[in-house]
Homo-oligomer: A and B are copies of this chain.
Amino acid sequence: MEQKATNIFWHDGDITKADRERVHKHRGVCIWFTGLSGSGKSTIANEVQNLLFERGVHTYVLDGDNVRHGLNKDLGFSPEDRTENIRRIGEVAKLFVDAGTVVMTAFISPYRADRDQVREIMPEGDFVEVYVECDLAVCEERDPKGLYKKARAGEIPEFTGISAPYEAPEKPELVVNTSEETDVRKNAQKVIRFLEEKQYIPAQD
């Protein structure tokens, strides 16, 4: 394969992840946000996406909105279904990474074994676990979707943090504590700085 211009290539075989990364000028990687409901996973992921989009980085966010009602609409919240939910999201994220995308996933993903399984299927370095740490009391106080209230009233069975376990990561690549820092932009920038430092994306001029 011979480079003919800045972002144009002739190609005889199939296009590889490395080909795409060369054209995109950044790496394909999965940023896996995990944390309690209301901790701010989706908000931070979307803010990171906004900042990266401005910089021409190819991004996509997988979250409940586009996955739970589509690909995983046949799954509930039992331990088995949660495991299958995360397995499928991991496989889809892997495809986006292969496509040279900075794909961010924003799911509670409460079980350590499930997250480790996703890490396992990705090439070394392509999986970045971000623990969105937040006190349960703070999440419950925020309760943006009124879910904690319903869970406390017994209307939602197996609700993470109330009636189902959350297993915090033991060695996440990054921790963002949203009880201590409530500014979304600052939390997003912490993720961006990590991506720059580890050379997933070029540092800004």
Contact = CB atoms under 8 A, between A and B. Distances in A.
Interface of A: 7-12, 14-15, 19, 23, 46, 49-50, 53-56, 58-62, 66-67, 70-71, 88, 91-92, 94-96, 98-99, 101, 121
A25 to B, nearest CB: 12
A95 B60 contact: yes
Given A53-B9, A56-B7, A14 B46 contact: yes
Given A50-B15, A88-B71, A8 B56 contact: yes
A155 B2 CA distance: 44
B53 A66 contact: no
B14 A62 contact: no
Nearest to A19: B53
Q: Which 7 A-B pairs have the closest CB atoms?
A: A71-B91, A70-B91, A60-B99, A11-B50, A14-B46, A15-B53, A92-B92
B54 A95 contact: no
Contact of A49 (B12, B14, B56, B71): B14
Nearest to A12: B50
Contact of A11 (B7, B14, B54): B54
